[in-house]
Amino acid sequence: MRTLKPFLIGWALLAAFAVLWAQGGRGRGNQGQAQTGQPGQAGQPGQGTPAVTLPPGSVEGRVLSITGEVLRKVTLTLRPNGRGGGSYGTTSANDGSFRFPSVDQGTYMLTGERTGYVRETLSTPSGQTLPIEVVSEKNTSGIELKMTPQSVIAGHVFDEDGDPVQSVNVEVWRYTYPRGRKQITQVQNGTTNDLGEFRIANLAPGRYFVSATARRGALQAILNGGGRGGRGGGPGGRQAAGGGRVGPVETIEDYVTTYYPNLTEATNASPLNLVAGSEVRGIDIRLLKARYHRVSGSVAGLPAAGSGADDAKAKGKGKAGDGGFALAGPGIMLSLTPRNGEGGRQLAGAQVFADGSFEFPAVPPGSYYINAQTPGAVQQRLTARVPVDVGNGDINNVSLRLQPPLSLSGVLTVDSTQPNVRLGSLRLTFTPSEPGPGGQGRNGQAQLADDGTFQATLAADAYLIEAGGMPDGYYLKSVKLAGREMPDATLDLNYGGGQVQVVLAPTAGDITGTVQNSHGDPAASVQVTAVPTSGSLRKDMNKLVTTDAMGNFTLHGLPPGEYKIFAWEEVETNAWMDHDYRQPFETQSVSAKVDASTTPTVQLKLIERGAR
């Protein structure tokens, strides 16, 4: 024991020293904590922070309302732009000023939060996030974060008799434009109280739609009980792969999602135009009921036994609730999604049977996609999609055939006698032309070999092709599949594959010009967009740039074609690509034709904020 005791004491001292060392290291990491007149709140640096770092820099600025007054008590956070590193926090002082005195060198995003204001990220006038570059031992100053007073929507939800309804889910929606395609997307939600009242805050200025969705009594019994006809079903019901029977058909009437004022379709709903700091009251919705119908059919091309069916059966997955998809005994995932662009919302519980037949027992009227796919890696999934329109009755015998992913091969060439491009440095990107759950495919990429050949594995879908890494002045001229020209550079694999031929050309053009405001002065830092008159959504034909201090701009690298050019003081992200959004401003646009390697010049009048 005499020899063991000093040994144990030595280990204890080493352990204590290690703890103190670790605590000291954490203390040093907290030196980046930002402070003003009030204590800041700093995050810990990432675990991967090196032991030896450069001396920190600092960041300072102030916070203002968009109306110009300084804002105090704004919680400010600096977050690293990318992986690793720590976050730093502080609070603005009474004069709106803030300071982060000790920040590690790197690139950061600045956000601000304050009660009564919309959460804000430091951005450019066009809405793009503006990063902050912090340099060791340098002070980054002059930053101004402008915050917008929140808007509020308030109202009531009543039933068909005019009585208030409690615990109704109230959702606020707005149109977004992913890849230029209009869809309605949820931005906030809330719940009614015992008086049927709701109040939804923290909304930025804009156009919104409001909907109410009540708990559905009869419908939920169907979804929970396994089919129409009640729990357990009736005579002749079939056993679903995970339990529950489908009983005989009977009429289901229940509440449906109701849009303000009292409509079942988002496309016909009345928009609410909110300005900064406004509170719109009296948004009262009376819930509507509709008849729900059965949609049934079968899926062909099922995977072979042993490819996931046994596992699915063991887990008892044969039906889904309101989440909208089911994993059946055969290993099929089924979903029902609206075709009207309702933000990827999935509707209706599904039942799938061991033989591949399926049923959505309760679907409200509307236009949908039925999507089917097998689980597993994207390159191995079988997929299918069909449109269905639900009207006044059940729909039976819907047929889906699962298709395996296609292995494509192709070659890219350049239409030039002196091509100035190294083919091995190029890559092709395949983006589904139908965004959201309605599109079965996922983005794919193919890196070219030095001889221009490439290979890709893609689901059966339609894809927009883009070429990345092209030299200046090049554009994608042609795409062919099995010798057939693909309009709009869209590769349609729904009817099979074949050899893909892609052609580039070095004869892209430019459009230059200037923008003036209503007073005839140069319009600086406004957005100029070019859209093709053909309606194409190709990224290289739909371009956005920002004017310089003198209102000048250049739209660079446009494929030959005819374009409409617009100048916007303010425009929603990608909304300018949507024809319906642009329509009211067509008279304020200018037409321009781009021929091979040409540079037409245009003069634009600014479409000013609030013109819509």
DSSP string, 310-366: HHHHHHT--B--TT-EEE-TT--EEEEEESS--TT---S--EE-TTSEEEEEEE-SE
Q: Which residues on adjacent β-strands are paired with residue 10?
A: none
Options 2.40.30.10, 3.30.1490.190, 2.60.40.1120, 2.60.130.10; CATH of 292-401: 2.60.40.1120
Own/partner pairs, 50-53, CB within 8 angstroms, 24+ separation: 53/104, 53/105
pLDDT of residue 355: 86
pLDDT for 228 beyond 50: no
Please, are residues 553 and 514 in contact by the beta-carbon 8 Å criterion? yes
Q: Which value, in Å, is the radius of gyration of the alpha carbons in the chain?
A: 30
Return the closest-CA partner of residue 371 out of 436, 286, 425.
436
Residue 579 has which token pair?
């024809």
Return the closest-CA partner of residue 581 out of 526, 538, 542.
542
Please, are residues 326 and 352 in contact by the beta-carbon 8 Å criterion? yes
Pairwise CA distance, residues 199 & 190, whole Å: 7
pLDDT of residue 140: 97
23-39 CB burial, b ≥16 within 10 A, e <16: eeeeeebeebbbbbeee
Q: Among 141-150, 216-225, 556-565, whose mean pLDDT is lowest?
A: 216-225
The mean pLDDT of 174-184, rounded to a whole number, is 89
**Element holding 20 (H helix, E strand):** helix 4-29
pLDDT for 10 beyond 80: no
Q: What does the pLDDT look like over 58-90, one tens digit per residue?
A: 999 999 999 999 999 999 999 998 766 789 999
pLDDT for 351 beyond 90: no
In the three-class reduction of DSSP (H, G, I as helix; E, B as strand; rest coil), residue 297 is classed as: strand
Q: Name the CATH superfamily housing domain 151-224+250-288.
A: Carboxypeptidase-like, regulatory domain (2.60.40.1120)
Q: Is the peptide bond before 261 cis (omega within 30 degrees of 0)?
A: yes
Q: Where are the beta strands (DSSP E) in 469-542?
A: 475-481, 484-485, 490-492, 500-505, 509-516, 527-532
pLDDT of residue 231: 33
Pairwise CA distance, residues 112 & 124, whole Å: 15
Residue 558 pLDDT level (bands cut at 50, 70, 90): very high
Pairwise CA distance, residues 303 & 402, whole Å: 9
Return the closest-CA partner of residue 338 out of 349, 329, 346.
346
How many of the other CB atoms lie within 10 Å of CB of 451?
11
The mean pLDDT of 575-599, rounded to a whole number, is 96
Pairwise CA distance, residues 527 & 606, whole Å: 9
Among 430-439, 460-469, 525-534, top mean pLDDT goes to 525-534
Number of Cα atoms under 13 Å in the Cβ half of residue 190: 18
Using CA atoms, how far residue 219 sits from 166, 212, 323, 335, 346, in Å, is: 18, 16, 13, 17, 16
Q: Per residue, what are the HEC states of 313-328?
A: HHHCCCECCCCCEEEC
DSSP type of residue 494:
T
Please, are residues 545 and 144 in contact by the beta-carbon 8 Å criterion? no
∠ CA 167-169-174, nearest 5°, is 160
Looking at the chain, how many residues does it have? 612
Q: Residue 229 is which amino acid?
A: G
Q: Among 18-32, 483-497, 523-537, 548-562, whose mean pLDDT is lowest?
A: 18-32
Domain ranges for the chain: 30-47+54-147, 151-224+250-288, 292-401, 406-505, 509-605
Residue 302 has which token pair?
């099922």
The gap between the terminal CA atoms of the chain, to the nearest Å, is 88
Pairwise CA distance, residues 221 & 216, whole Å: 8
pLDDT for 2 beyond 70: no
| 92 CB burial (10 A radius; 0-12, 13-18, 19+) | buried
Largest CA distance in the chain: 98
Residue 380 pLDDT level (bands cut at 50, 70, 90): confident
pLDDT for 362 beyond 80: yes
What phi and psi values does residue 15 have, to the nearest 5 degrees? -65, -45
Calculated CA dihedral for residues 161, 164, 165, 166, nearest 10 degrees:
-160
What phi and psi values does residue 589 have, to the nearest 5 degrees? -95, 170
The mean pLDDT of 31-53, rounded to a whole number, is 44
Q: Name the CATH superfamily housing domain 509-605.
A: Immunoglobulins (2.60.40.10)
Pairwise CA distance, residues 419 & 474, whole Å: 10
Helices and strands (H and E) in the chain: how many: 4, 41
**Element holding 408 (H helix, E strand):** strand 406-414
Residue 528 has which token pair?
């100029």
Q: Among 104-108, 246-250, 350-354, whose mean pLDDT is lowest?
A: 246-250
pLDDT of residue 29: 38
| CATH architecture, range 30-47+54-147 | Sandwich (2.60)
Pairwise CA distance, residues 287 & 253, whole Å: 13
How many of the other CB atoms lie within 10 Å of CB of 346?
18
Please, are residues 72 and 93 in contact by the beta-carbon 8 Å criterion? yes
Using CA atoms, how far residue 175 sits from 183, 340, 343, 517, 536, in Å, is: 6, 12, 9, 28, 20
Given this chain, do its domains 151-224+250-288 and 406-505 carry the same CATH topology?
Answer: yes
pLDDT for 109 beyond 50: yes
Q: What does the pLDDT look like over 480-530, one tens digit per residue?
A: 999 999 999 999 988 788 899 999 999 999 999 999 999 999 999 999 999
In the three-class reduction of DSSP (H, G, I as helix; E, B as strand; rest coil), residue 31 is classed as: helix
Q: What does the pLDDT look like over 268-310, one tens digit per residue?
A: 899 999 999 999 999 999 999 999 999 999 999 877 654 443 4
Question: Who's near 320: CB < 8 A, 6+ residues apart?
Answer: 326, 334, 349, 350, 351
Pairwise CA distance, residues 334 & 385, whole Å: 10
In the three-class reduction of DSSP (H, G, I as helix; E, B as strand; rest coil), residue 389 is classed as: strand
Cα 204 to chain centroid distance, Å, stands at 18
Please, are residues 200 and 189 in contact by the beta-carbon 8 Å criterion? yes
Top-level CATH class of 406-505?
Answer: mainly beta
Pairwise CA distance, residues 426 & 445, whole Å: 11
